[in-house]
Chains A and B, each alone.
Chain A
Amino acid sequence: MIEIREIGRQFNTRDGGTFEALKDVSFSVKDKEFFSIIGPSGCGKTTLLKMVAGLVRPTSGQIVIDGSPVSGPGNDRAMVFQHFVLLPWADILTNVGFGLEMRGLSRRESREAARPFLDRVGLTGFAEHYPHELSGGMQQRVGLARALAVSPDILLMDEPFGALDAQTRQLMQEDLMRIWDVEQKTVIFVTHSMDEAAYLSDRVLVMDTHPGKVREVLDVPLPRPRDEAVRTTPVFNELTSHMWHELRGMIGDPTAPAPE
Chain B
Amino acid sequence: MVTDQAAGATDVELTLAARGGSSSRWTPWLFRIGSVGLVLLIWELYGRAQDTTLFFVPFTSVVTALWELVQTTEFWDAFRQTFIPFIWGWLLSLVVGIFLGLLIGRFPAFDALTKPYVTFLNALPISTLVPIAVILFGIGYPSRILIVFLFGVIEVTLNTAAGVRYVNRDLVEMGESFNGTQWRLFRKVILPASVPGIMAGVRIGTGRAVVGMVVVEILLVAVGMGRLILRYRGRFQSAELYAVVLALILFGILLQVLARRIELRASRWKSEMEQVA
> Interface residues, chain A, CB within 8 Å of chain B?
53-55, 72-75, 77-79, 81, 83, 85, 87-90, 98-99, 101-104, 130-132, 150
Contacts and interface: CB of A to CB of B under 8 A. Distances in A.
Contacts of A150: 178
Main secondary structure of the interface of B (DSSP, over half): helix
Contact of B176 (A55, A90, A101, A103): A55
Given A102-B188, A130-B272, A132-B276, A87 B177 contact: no
B177 A55 contact: yes
Contacts, number: 65
Contacts of B189: 87
A9 B179 CA distance: 23
Nearest to B169: A85
B174 interface: yes
Given A102-B184, A102-B188, A78 B178 contact: yes
Interface residues of B, number: 23
B177 A98 contact: no
Contact of A87 (B171, B184, B272): B171
Contacts of A99: 178
A72 B179 CA distance: 8
Given A73-B179, A132-B276, A81 B270 contact: no
A72 B176 CA distance: 9
A113 B270 CA distance: 27
Most chain B CB inside 10 Å of its own CB: which residue of A53, A88, A101, A130: A88
A242 B59 CA distance: 84
A150 B180 CA distance: 12
A129 to B, nearest CB: 12
B174 A81 contact: yes
Contacts of B273: 88, 131-132
